[in-house]
Amino acid sequence: MTAQYDKWWFAAAGLFHETQKEIGLGDARRIFKEIAGPATPKQRAGWKNMELVTLYDCMEQPNVQRLARELAEKNKNQPRERRYGPTGSTEPAVLDKQIRRVLRRRKVNQGG
């Protein structure tokens, strides 16, 4: 093995150890297993939902309707696999509903 390999192996091992301390062995293993294997359609949809939340959070003045309109317009010029949102819709109303759904889910999960 190379020094570069060793560096990243130890970094991954350290992250795994910290994750295990925070959330337990079973959940830490599940996270690393999900990352290491090929993504399932459900995982890809989850990542796309996280992307929606991140884009919303990065807005200077967060506005669901404006974000939905902008993303729907961008989706029209993107191949399906690169579109925003789990379904890659070009309809602002569909994206608006999805953004609100994931924001509501985040709020519930954060106890708010």
pLDDT (tens digit, 9 = 90+) per residue, 12-32? Answer: 999 999 999 999 999 999 999
Spatial separation of the C-alpha atoms in residues 103 and 36, rounded to whole Å: 27
Of 58, 51, 84, nearest to 70 (Cα)? Answer: 84
State the pLDDT at residue 21. 97
CB count in 10 Å sphere of residue 31: 15
State the pLDDT at residue 54. 96
CB count in 10 Å sphere of residue 72: 21
**Which segments of the chain have a pLDDT < 50?**
none
Of 74, 76, 69, nearest to 93 (Cα)? Answer: 69
E runs forming strands in the chain: none
The pTM of the full predicted model, rounded to 2 decimals, is 0.70
Q: For tokens 């949809």, what's the residue?
A: 45
